[in-house]
Amino acid sequence: MSARKTAKPARGSRRVFSFGDGKADGDAKMKEMLGGKGANLAEMTRIGLPVPAGFTISTVVCAEYQAAGDRIPNALMPEVAKALVKVERVMAARFGDASLPLLLSVRSGARVSMPGMMDTVLNLGLNDRTVEGLARLADTRFAYDSYRRFIQMYGDVVLDVPRDRFEHRLEAQKANRRVHLDTELDADDWRELVREYLRIVEEETGKPFPQDPQQQLWGAIGAVFRSWKTPRAITYRKMNAIPDEWGTAVNVQAMVFGNMGDDCATGVAFTRDPATGSNVFYGEYLKNAQGEDVVAGTRTPQPINKESRSADQAHLPTLEEEMPKAYKQLARIRHTLESHYCEMQDIEFTIQAGKLWMLQTRTGKRTVRAAVKIAVDMVRERLISREVAVGRVDAGQLDQLLHPTLDPDAPKKVIAKGLPASPGGACGAVVFSAEDAETKAKAHEKVVLVRIETSPEDIHGMYAAEGILTARGGMTSHAAVVARGMGKCCVVGCGTLQISYARGEFRVGDTLVRAGDVITIDGSTGEVILGEVATVTPELSGEFGELMKWADSMRRLEVRTNADTPHDAKVARDFGAEGIGLCRTEHMFFEEARILAVREMILATDEIQRGRALEKLLPMQRGDFVGIFQAMAGLPVTIRLLDPPLHEFLPHEEDGIREVAEALGDDVAAVRARIEERSEFNPMLGHRGCRLGITFPDIYRMQVRAITEAACQVAESGVKVQPEIMIPLVAHVKELERLRALAEEEIAHVLAAHPGSRLKISIGTMIEVPRAALTADAIANFADFFSFGTNDMTQMAYALSRDDAGKFLPDYLETGILKDDPFVSIDRDGIGQLIRIGVERGRSTRPRLKVGICGEHGGDPKSVMFCDEVGLDYVSCSPFRVPVARLAAAQAAIHARQQKKAAARPVRKQARVAAKRATSTRGTRRTRS
């Protein structure tokens, strides 16, 4: 076996891969070794596209280079020399030859495209002799334009000469000549500039500019490898979880020239419109230009065709008009590439003397909107399967489609930046209190609610506002969670805002913004903008619905929503929710008409007082549930009994305290004293959740009664109801045992008054206290279902306060201690174990236990993937995340199927290998003995 290996070197030992003249050593599948750019240059060559010949030095050499202390490994030299000869043969020119010089580009290219890597060096091989050869072959102006470009690029990226030294010199030359554009300079100008540039390099580096083309080439190759280790590249890799070992490849390629005259051009294009996804060819080009001129903004590029023309470009001629032959060829290549890659491509091309050359192709970046349209269109065009289409849309971004967004073309003055907590754009007059928000909204004025932070008392104001901006708090702060729930634009944790409620203003830097001034916030970027920016309402196209239909047919997880009002329930249902996974009853308590009764209930001194307050609340709660059951007709609705610490409901201002005192017939001082008694050192671990039900059983009784009566009422009107009562914050089985008995008693009581009723109400619990997960087998004896409350569970098991994490969590993310905010994506290694344990132990007692998750993680694609993996039955998330969860659940199911297939394959292969090995060892033994 080993003999065969040496006779025919394995593919892995080759360092240099040639392409050109229709043949290539590599192909598109070899991104690991050739990088994205190199692999696709090889692939384009293979499928017969016009690609200038060249070769790719494998990523493996990058590691060798570094291991050798930044030295080119000896074995590379002859391989490069051989590959270079091939390029010379195909291009009929010689590297370093004074009469027929071959020029090269040296381009970096990792597996994924990465900022921080070395910029491309063009026109390599030029020196004082070859430039004259080039001038004789073409013309002098072009030759010296190319030479000055080369000196600048090489000086900048290989020799570390500050780029602006060259740029200042160029500007000075243009000023001397009284011209604006590079193209207006003539041959003598460039000749003069080249002399100056050479002098600048010598001055900066203390050495003459390298004239030897071989030295130039190896200098550039080394610089590409070294750029893998620049701080910027390292930071980018850390943030994007790209392993340092990958390394970069180097592409060395024959130059083609877009700067040889007016029958030359260089350009970039997308095979479809990357903003809308519509199936039109879309791109820009510049005549008589090279390399990055198109994107550098020195001259205005022209549209390649009329489809790419924006409104203000009507006067610009297109490539289609100016170079019809080259355009036609490019348009054909567009189709070739799409049907070959079955994916939208982003391409770079150059036209030299009317001849088209392809320089790059890769998967094109696009907006979510375009992603949806392209995926669905490509299924219709039979380019991809439905499964592939569903997998191609980034689920996490899908909710951007559902909110009004800021017009991307509108000018804007950004004054601050916070965290993009809930997407969309909002614009309105600044208000600093929920009351003002409500009053103004009633007068049909658009407002943005600006708070240091929000609390449950602000909910009515948040409802009324177009958007919410806070100075404090993170992605799971109250404002963020509630705003996402409402589908409202929200920016949180904008630390530079100095808000003064007293003066009714906020400052940021030198800008003063007063109540009533108009601002705009962008919940997708976190930007705070002075004045009004137009918003655009996205249209939900037919493609969106089509894609979601396919996703639904592929997923296993059920998707529910967290909704507290009939309105939210309806929104979620329209987005495809299959039930409510979490209906928080406390939000209902904050409504203006009720809060007084709630406060009476909390501050009552005896059962009788409390009873009176509860009697007032009962019909109101019943009404709430009737509305929700009707909105969710036929679908399950999980209602959580009262959960937050009671002090959250209590008044802190004089008026409020007086009002409750009056209602209770008590004196103000006594009521204030009782309010103080309620305050806790650590409310999140204090008197809340089911502990309230243990201490004040009447409150839970009232809620169960309201739920059951509402269910009976709705059922009797002929609408199917499926209520599920959920007990929060259970830590010990005894808590649940007791509260379940209480609930069953109350249900039986109500049903006795409705003899014909066939209503079934299930009773379950949240699993959010770590102890509950660990003792899930015992708890499951009294639970019909579990719902993981992963916000609280993360907080408790991680010892991480949700409300204070904003002060240090960003450092954890920045330094890479944590890859994800554990309140955004489930921490698989830690919290994930508690969930696994909870599911396993719960189902060991009750095999058909229904298990779901509510809380912010339910709408996070990575967490949904995890939920599918551990076998949950459903996820529940805020209404606007429902489509996100549906798509993510489908992607999770596709992934699971692929894993299963992949797992099955090696088993068979292993078995074959094992069988072979068994026979061959036997064979060896026999010959030896």
Q: In terms of CB distance, is 183 or 360 closer to ligand ADP? A: 360
Burial of 433: CB neighbours in 10 Å, binned 0-12, 13-18, 19+: middle
Tokens for 461, please give them.
């104001």
- H or E element in which residue 505 lies: strand 505-508
Minimum gap (Å) between residue 251 Cβ and ligand ADP: 7
Q: Which of residues 49-78 bind ligand ADP (CB under 6 A)?
A: 52
- The interface partner of residue 253, options being Mg ion, ligand ADP, none and the CB cut-off 5 to 8 Å by kind, is ligand ADP
Minimum gap (Å) between residue 120 Cβ and Mg ion: 7
Let me know: does 361 contact 40? Beta carbons within 8 Å: yes
**3-state DSSP helix/strand/coil percent for the chain, to nearest 5?**
50, 15, 30
Choices 249-257, 564-572, 639-647, 852-860 (CB under 6 A): range interacting with ligand ADP: 249-257
Counting residues that bind ligand ADP (by CB under 6 A) gives 16
Let me know: does 721 contact 626? Beta carbons within 8 Å: no
Q: In terms of CB distance, is 209 or 349 closer to ligand ADP? A: 349
Minimum gap (Å) between residue 57 Cβ and ligand ADP: 14
Minimum gap (Å) between residue 367 Cβ and ligand ADP: 21
String of contacts with ligand ADP for each residue 75-114, x by CB under 6 A: ------------------------------x-x-------
- The interface partner of residue 458, options being Mg ion, ligand ADP, none and the CB cut-off 5 to 8 Å by kind, is none
- The interface partner of residue 361, options being ligand ADP, Mg ion, none and the CB cut-off 5 to 8 Å by kind, is none
909: phi then psi, degrees, rounded to nearest 5: -65, -45
CA distance 725 to 729: 13
Kindly write down the DSSP assignment for every residue of 127-159, as one continuous string. Answer: -TTHHHHHHHHS-HHHHHHHHHHHHHHHHHHTT
Q: Which of residues 24-83 bind Mg ion (CB under 5 A)?
A: none
Minimum gap (Å) between residue 350 Cβ and ligand ADP: 5
CA 608 to chain centroid, in Å, comes to 54
Q: Which of 489, 583, 854, 867 is catalytic?
A: 854
How many CB atoms lie under 10 A from the CB of residue 325?
A: 11
Q: Which of residues 773-792 bind Mg ion (CB under 5 A)?
A: 789, 792
Minimum gap (Å) between residue 116 Cβ and ligand ADP: 11
Minimum gap (Å) between residue 263 Cβ and Mg ion: 23
Minimum gap (Å) between residue 640 Cβ and Mg ion: 8
Please report, as a single letter, which amino acid is at residue 285.
Y
- The interface partner of residue 267, options being ligand ADP, Mg ion, none and the CB cut-off 5 to 8 Å by kind, is none
Which of left, alpha, beta for 24 (phi over 0: left; psi -120 to 50: alpha)?
beta
Q: In terms of CB distance, is 348 or 586 closer to Mg ion? A: 348
868 binds Mg ion, rule: CB under 5 A = no
Minimum gap (Å) between residue 756 Cβ and Mg ion: 37
Question: Biggest alpha carbon distance in the chain?
Answer: 107
Instruction: Give the 3-state secondary structure of residue 789.
Output: strand
476 binds Mg ion, rule: CB under 5 A = no
Single residue of 146, 183, 308, 350 touching ligand ADP by CB under 6 A: 350
Q: In terms of CB distance, is 122 or 772 closer to ligand ADP? A: 122
CA distance 304 to 320: 6
Minimum gap (Å) between residue 360 Cβ and Mg ion: 4
- The interface partner of residue 125, options being ligand ADP, Mg ion, none and the CB cut-off 5 to 8 Å by kind, is none
Q: In terms of CB distance, is 254 or 743 closer to ligand ADP? A: 254
Let me know: does 247 contact 73? Beta carbons within 8 Å: no
- The interface partner of residue 789, options being Mg ion, ligand ADP, none and the CB cut-off 5 to 8 Å by kind, is Mg ion
Buried/exposed code over 845-871 (b: 16+ C-beta within 10 A; e: otherwise): ebeebbbbbbbbbbbbbbbbbbbbebe
Query: In the annotation, is 583 catalytic?
Result: no
- The interface partner of residue 255, options being Mg ion, ligand ADP, none and the CB cut-off 5 to 8 Å by kind, is ligand ADP
788: phi then psi, degrees, rounded to nearest 5: -75, 120
CA distance 129 to 756: 103
CA distance 106 to 220: 7
Choices 96-104, 355-363, 469-477, 483-491 (CB under 5 A): range interacting with Mg ion: 355-363
Buried/exposed code over 71-96 (b: 16+ C-beta within 10 A; e: otherwise): ebeeebeebbeebbebbbebbebbbb
Q: Which of residues 359-378 bind Mg ion (CB under 5 A)?
A: 360
Single residue of 255, 450, 747, 854 touching ligand ADP by CB under 6 A: 255
Instruction: Give the 3-state secondary structure of residue 305.
Output: coil
Query: In the annotation, is 652 catalytic?
Result: no
Please choose, from the candidates 630, 487, 639, the residue with its C-alpha nearest in 3D space to the C-alpha of residue 560: 639
Please choose, from the candidates 446, 500, 445, 441, the residue with its C-alpha nearest in 3D space to the C-alpha of residue 471: 500
At how many degrees (to 10) do helices 654-664 and 668-678 cross?
110
Instruction: Give the 3-state secondary structure of residue 309.
Output: coil
Instruction: Give the 3-state secondary structure of residue 215.
Output: helix
Please choose, from the candidates 320, 302, 301, 308, the residue with its C-alpha nearest in 3D space to the C-alpha of residue 278: 308
Q: Which of 403, 478, 647, 857 is catalytic?
A: 478
Q: In terms of CB distance, is 253 or 876 closer to ligand ADP? A: 253
Residue with tokens 């089985």: 733
Say which residues have a Cβ less than 8 Å from residue 244's Cβ, sequence separation at least 6.
Answer: 234, 237
Let me know: does 849 contact 822? Beta carbons within 8 Å: no
Minimum gap (Å) between residue 688 Cβ and Mg ion: 9
Q: Which of residues 167-206 bind ligand ADP (CB under 6 A)?
A: none
- The interface partner of residue 122, options being ligand ADP, Mg ion, none and the CB cut-off 5 to 8 Å by kind, is ligand ADP
256 binds ligand ADP, rule: CB under 6 A = yes
- Nearest-10 Cα torsion for 809, 810, 811, 816: 90
Choices 164-172, 348-356, 522-530, 591-599 (CB under 5 A): range interacting with Mg ion: 348-356
Single residue of 18, 58, 253, 713 touching ligand ADP by CB under 6 A: 253
36 binds ligand ADP, rule: CB under 6 A = no
Q: In terms of CB distance, is 329 or 350 closer to ligand ADP? A: 350
CA distance 767 to 870: 15
Single residue of 42, 157, 217, 359 touching ligand ADP by CB under 6 A: 359
Single residue of 49, 53, 91, 122 touching ligand ADP by CB under 6 A: 122
Q: In terms of CB distance, is 423 or 764 closer to Mg ion? A: 764
Single residue of 40, 56, 120, 535 touching ligand ADP by CB under 6 A: 120
In 135-264, at which residue ranges do the beta strands (DSSP E only) sit?
A: 249-254
Q: In terms of CB distance, is 26 or 213 closer to Mg ion? A: 26
923: phi then psi, degrees, rounded to nearest 5: -60, -45
**CA torsion through residues 256, 262, 267, 269, sign:** negative
Name the residue whose CB lies closest to Mg ion.
Answer: 792
Choices 153-161, 357-365, 532-540, 805-813 (CB under 5 A): range interacting with Mg ion: 357-365
479 binds ligand ADP, rule: CB under 6 A = no
572: phi then psi, degrees, rounded to nearest 5: -65, -40
Choices 154-162, 247-255, 563-571, 877-885 (CB under 6 A): range interacting with ligand ADP: 247-255
Q: In terms of CB distance, is 189 or 768 closer to Mg ion? A: 768
Helices (H), 562-645: 566-574, 586-589, 592-603, 607-631
Catalytic residues: 478, 854
Residues that bind ligand ADP (CB under 6 A): 52, 105, 107, 120, 122, 253-256, 266, 291-292, 348, 350, 359-360
Residues that bind Mg ion (CB under 5 A): 348, 360, 768, 789, 792
